[in-house]
Structure 1
Amino acid sequence: MTYNEAISYLYDRLPVFHRVGVSAYKPGLTNVLALCEALGNPQHQFRSIHVAGTNGKGSTSHLLASIYQLAGYRVGLYTSPHLKSFTERIRLGGLPIPEADVAQFVRNHRPLIETIEPSFFEVTVAMAFDFFAREQVDLAIVEVGLGGRLDSTNIITPMASVITNIGWDHVEVLGDTLPKIAAEKSGIIKPNVPVVIGESQSETSPVFTAIAEANQSPIVFADQQWHLADSGLANGVRKVLCYHLHTDEQPVTVDLPLTGLYQLANLKTVLATVEVIQSAYPVHQKALVDGCRLVTAQTGLKGRFQWLQQRPIVIADTAHNKPGIEALLATVQTIPHRALRLVIGFVRDKDVLAVLALLPTNAIYYFCQADSPRALPVDELVSLAGSVGLAGVGYADVNLALAAASQEADPDDFILITGSTYVVAEVNSL
């Protein structure tokens, strides 16, 4: 079985969330536990940091991986979804899992897969944990897929449980109030394992505190530990001064290539997490600073306010829900430009109208759809956008829309590609 055959098998046989949405979601740990039991329970053979949250968990995971790599540790990284290649989901030392390992895993365990009938995500988690155990990683950074309590990754007992923030997303699965969503994501909290919460919120902080206390888990709110002063953009990085609120230490200066303003909250979460497990996994300041500065080179992170061109500015960002789009637009407003041109598409199972209502009516729109069964058809998107006063032209795919925006743009314009991870993934120049 070749790599391409293995990937085709996984896509064709198993329910895949990024293709069909919630119908592919199999809540509960029964399948992944059965898979891992047959593999010798690899989830118990490495140490980890578990990262959940509505937004920012991917960036947070990549930053942590980069820092611990620069500190000299052998680091595994599990994230989802991927942008270009399935192998991006499972990394060792920043490098994607070899295609041969993927093919071998599927070939060796095909009878097991066909007996258990797991989802695509469940198989991927088992593959990642098996890979990390065989490669004897010092530390694995494991990003939650959806929620927390019933997510397939939630069979590890980590060194720290991290929850970046809580916002409105996947309400049909996680709950229709922020406290309900927080409770689901708090399911990654384990007895006596320290908890890092990225952002204090009046509706959700009591939920986290109560669950942490019930588990006798020390809890830290990152925004109550660190103050970050943004010194602005220069030479493609955002320079940030990081002040610890409870020590007299000199501030740490970080050059962050992830230039979205929303990354400041993620950076606080990262700093607090490193501090919480410092005694078990020491990190010197140089590794911390270099890990942040080199995160994209070290871990292959893409699609987070990623600069594709300078004149006109072309930025790709995977923001896809209301809090993500709000944070993205806040950064856009800080960058001087003439006209804003949005290349945008969505998946159909998001609250698209709520997101469209956030968008500026004076921007120029190039609507598109991803090559996915979940994609909102572009004709429907044009109609929905029109209902909230956004006018634009529809295109069959993102690259046609981007070509049209580039052709019509002035050198001082700003072209923003966003709305869906799957739209960004299909940008040829990414």
Structure 2
Amino acid sequence: MSSNNSLLSIDSKIIKYGLERTFQLLEACDNPHLATECIQIVGTNGKGSISAMLSNVLIKNKYDVGLYTSPHLVDLNERIRFNDQKISNTSIDSFTKKFKSKITKIQPSFFEIMTVMALEYFKQKKANIAIMETGLGGRLDSVTAAKAKILIFTPIDIDHIGLLGNTIEEIAYEKSCAIQGSTKYIFSSNQKQVVKTILDRRAKKFKIDIKYLSEKSYFKLNSRHQISNARLAYQVLNFLREKNFFKLKTIKMHLEQTKWPGRIQYISKSPDVIFDVAHNQHSILAFIDYFKTKVSLYKNCKIIVGFESGKEINKIINQLFLLFDTVTITETKIRKSMKANDIKDICSRNDLIIESNPRKALNDNLKDLKPNDACVILGSHYFGPYINEKFKNCFDINKKRY
């Protein structure tokens, strides 16, 4: 079995809470997190986009940058990048073989292994900075073990119900605990007042003032939420420049030119095939806000949706479907996939198409598209492999985009 398959086969049915295993594995690897300065991104939506924006600006300014994100779309190598290049299978094999006995003894989760592997890889590559996207929460997430000096909070909302908590207060608390003794600077999107209160209380404990979004620059991007992401990234980068941590030029241009798959991504044009990983109320509402400005351009609009269980979509899904002539509900066929009929049960439309096979759902919707039609694929990251089958290498960030 390859190292990739071995990693993916690690049993994740039981979530392993706590940072103890991550610290043990870091120590077994000679504490690679101490070799590279880190920026940790925490929140519900926009973490991947802001991580990619920061990375792109720094790379374009000739810095060596490690980027750790999750989940992946096609292969797990996507999660660990150095200067935009995915980690090689050889490097993954090298890490898993070198530390096999320690991994066997410590029994870390898949995500804990990937986090430590990323930090070890960035150490080997002598990265100037590592951009680390938090996977889940903050208090018990393995990325928090990296002890980043800079934290960035993206919008915090309801998501991962049951894992992080059942209320916005519980979720915000879990994420706020990424703030710790090693934290020096904190930036944040504008948050709901209840979230802001919780973040401020935690930051005050460590005598840190949070720098909330105040940037007003205009960016030529697809949607308002992408512009908000760019503004937050710009504020952080401008701070780093003013503090002489990095010498940065043409920040705005490089922010606008950042490519990150699955975020209002036009897979093809005429007909337009659009993929977006919006999978909770906040992100779906952002997509609605964008697509309302485009729907009149098309003669026929189709949408294919599929989500993972625990996603808060009940209050928004019917509003989304109003924009489309045809709605197909499918599944992603992973263990946590939400059943198509469960999605159907919360919908008010009676003309929904239920096709549990995602490959067939894509084929059926794409085969009859006319040049002035649109097909949106929305929801889970785990649509990635099925989309990549139809549109080879469509998620390559170095490939020209529409």
How high is the TM-score relative to the length of structure 2? 0.90
Equivalent residue runs for 1:390-405 within 5 Å: 391-405=351-365
Partner of 2:171, secondary structure, is helix
What is the CA distance between 1:150 and its match in structure 2? 0.8
Pick from 237, 249, 266 the counterpart of residue 229 of structure 2.
266
Partner of 2:262, secondary structure, is coil
2:400 matched residue in structure 1: none
Partner of 1:227, secondary structure, is coil
Pick from 328, 335, 339 the counterpart of residue 300 of structure 2.
339
Pick from 211, 231, 239 the counterpart of residue 202 of structure 2.
211
Tell me, in whole angstroms, the C-alpha distance in 1 between the residues paired with 2:255 and 2:385. 23
For the 8 Å contact 2:161–2:310, the answer to whether it is kept is no
What is the CA distance between 1:324 and its match in structure 2? 0.9
Is 1:281 paired with 2:278? no
| 2:367 aligned partner, one-letter code | Q
1:295 matched residue in structure 2: 258
Tell me, in whole angstroms, the C-alpha distance in 1 between the residues paired with 2:190 and 2:299. 33
Tell me, in whole angstroms, the C-alpha distance in 2 between the residues paired with 1:366 and 1:176. 29
Partner of 2:132, secondary structure, is strand
Deviations 1:168-207 (A, max 9, x none): 1013122222232222111122345110011232221122
Q: Structure 1 stretch 46-55 or stretch 205-214: which is displaced more?
A: 205-214
For the 8 Å contact 1:346–1:420, the answer to whether it is kept is yes
Is 1:8 paired with 2:5? yes
Partner of 1:173, secondary structure, is coil
Deviations 1:372-429 (A, max 9, x none): 1222233444x425x4225322234334222322334343222110121112442121
Pick from 321, 325, 335 the counterpart of residue 373 of structure 1.
335
For the 8 Å contact 1:193–1:217, the answer to whether it is kept is yes
Tell me, in whole angstroms, the C-alpha distance in 1 between the residues paired with 2:137 and 2:319. 25
Deviations 1:359-381 (A, max 9, x none): 23462112221131222233444
> In percent, how many aligned pairs have the same letter?
26
How many residue pairs were aligned?
Answer: 385
For the 8 Å contact 1:160–1:277, the answer to whether it is kept is no
Is 1:194 paired with 2:167? no
Is 1:349 paired with 2:310? yes
2:212 matched residue in structure 1: 221
Is 1:56 paired with 2:46? yes
2:278 matched residue in structure 1: 319
For the 8 Å contact 2:29–2:99, the answer to whether it is kept is no
Equivalent residue runs for 1:97-108 within 5 Å: 97-108=87-98
1:19 matched residue in structure 2: none
Partner of 1:262, secondary structure, is helix
For the 8 Å contact 1:318–1:424, the answer to whether it is kept is no
Q: 1:15 to 1:272 in 2, by over 3 A?
A: farther
Q: 1:40 to 1:362 in 2, by over 3 A?
A: closer
Is 1:422 paired with 2:386? no
- Please tell me the root mean square deviation across aligned C-alpha atoms, in Å: 1.9
1:309 matched residue in structure 2: 268
For the 8 Å contact 2:355–2:361, the answer to whether it is kept is yes
For the 8 Å contact 2:73–2:383, the answer to whether it is kept is no
For the 8 Å contact 1:317–1:424, the answer to whether it is kept is no
Structure 1: which 5+ runs fail to align? 17-22, 230-239, 241-254
What is the CA distance between 1:352 and its match in structure 2? 4.5
For the 8 Å contact 2:4–2:89, the answer to whether it is kept is no
Tell me, in whole angstroms, the C-alpha distance in 1 between the residues paired with 2:199 and 2:350. 39
Deviations 1:152-180 (A, max 9, x none): 01012323100011111013122222232
Q: Structure 1 stretch 392-401 or stretch 175-184: which is displaced more?
A: 392-401
| 2:216 aligned partner, one-letter code | H
How high is the TM-score relative to the length of structure 1? 0.84
For the 8 Å contact 1:159–1:277, the answer to whether it is kept is no
Equivalent residue runs for 1:134-213 within 5 Å: 134-191=124-181, 193-213=184-204
Tell me, in whole angstroms, the C-alpha distance in 1 between the residues paired with 2:120 and 2:47. 22
